[in-house]
Structure 1
């Protein structure tokens, strides 16, 4: 059984054009294959389609099975991804109904409060009735899906910190007046913003797995094509989506296969050593850069249906994984990727 929803048509992911889009699309696809990469921050000029491509991503994700009427999208087969309520039902041998839903995608509004994001505890009810009266927030809705924050660079730093903590741990904890509630919140965090309005602090930016930077297209023929694509979509969304259905299905199949094969991908020690050498020589703080680069390269190999990571895989992903980790001064601009690629070519002796 599945939920039926009346949804507005979404611009198909495979119809989005432009050379600059390749890296933006790749960063999103790799995070879908391996959410442990840690999400992606997409920075770009106004009107470069950041929101369009993120919202198109959800159509590439297979549906998920959840426990019916559960507010946390609890996985009926994995206790680590179940809410306390679901675990209680299973413990009491209550019958649970399983349904299939579309992978959730939650938009976090810019003016959202911490209570709206994390959820609230009704202290009065908890004291008077002795129950943990909890109203789940956006993190509960996003569990096992995607949480998208547009203009994340304008969000309060504390709130960004909360999102990053939940994305990294897979859990959300709310504490009020000595009462503590914890629930699964495993999601892919995607942020976007306009660099003219400022970047995140380096400490927060470092916690995003990947960083894609998109500039306005200059080629007139591509600009015309994008305008025409949009007009065709708006004129008849259903017909436009049908035109790309085969391409969408092929991409979905590749992603599903890559997810299954990810555990079988190997990466040679010498390559791992060279990744760490690049991070060290670029003065990248911590080990996140090393880990994210190897994870992203494995996801790319899986996506291309190979079993071993090659230097070319590293070259493809390393700028996306490291460029935002080079900035030490909040006023400094983010590297375009040239510095990372130059260092890669030196270390790997790659032409």
Structure 2
């Protein structure tokens, strides 16, 4: 049975010594902390030679008393010494209220932190893109490691499952473009130019851009959540242990699926948006479908279709890399999975819009207008 903790004050070599005995545990301390607090005289040392057992509460009691009295701890066992040193390492003052920071300083600090995080993320994303290229080259050299089943499954998840929501979104966007354009053009008696607006804007920009945003929200977030969960459950570490490359088994199938499906989804979205615009033109502007199609063939150059199909796979690479990169960055806990998933969607949409602006300037410069 554990003996209750006790103390005795002694005088050794002209200095006062507190000798503790018994068990220094939370169940056996009893009134020992109060008795130690009552000690006020100069104390040279605290002797733990007669202690049979000590826990964290007992170690904290000894450390607090030694710090208050300026005494040193002697005759402590190795375990007791390590526990007391560990407790002492966490004995640091903590501010109850944060230091006051001026609004200007706080704003500048937040801007600086955002710039640093953006730069770090950009460098990491470029490094991840390089790792993907290296894995792709390795897969080309060893085609037997190519996982066709995984790619086909991602085709279904990224492409087939998204047809419904992308079709509905594109149809409604086509209606909105036609309706808003006709309202403005009606002031000049040029409602027929609504067909030009719907056709060129859809094939050149909105069809692929809105598809990229939708795929980023659906597939990019799913990639980040899936890989992040696998990081937390150490499945990715297990894959590396058995000699399977996570880049080849997880990242490349997803990237390839998005790159292949984005042009198809973009073309599908453009066609459905055209149908939506034609529907509104037939209902609100009394433009027959045959006239709509004939006018569309006259005013929409084939280069507009090429522009959309060229941008689509680039957007797919950005979406897949952003989702997989953020998923692979999960380290701490389940909360970070949600944060990384949100970051993947925001990052993918932002980069898609930035790259789209560069494409717009480039195609105008080469004469595809």
Query: What's the TM-score once normalised by structure 1's chain length?
Result: 0.22
Could you say which structure has the larger radius of gyration?
A: 2
Larger fraction in strand: 1
Q: Which structure carries more relative contact order (alpha carbon 8 Å, separation 6+)?
A: 1
Query: What's the TM-score once normalised by structure 2's chain length?
Result: 0.21
Larger fraction in helix: 2
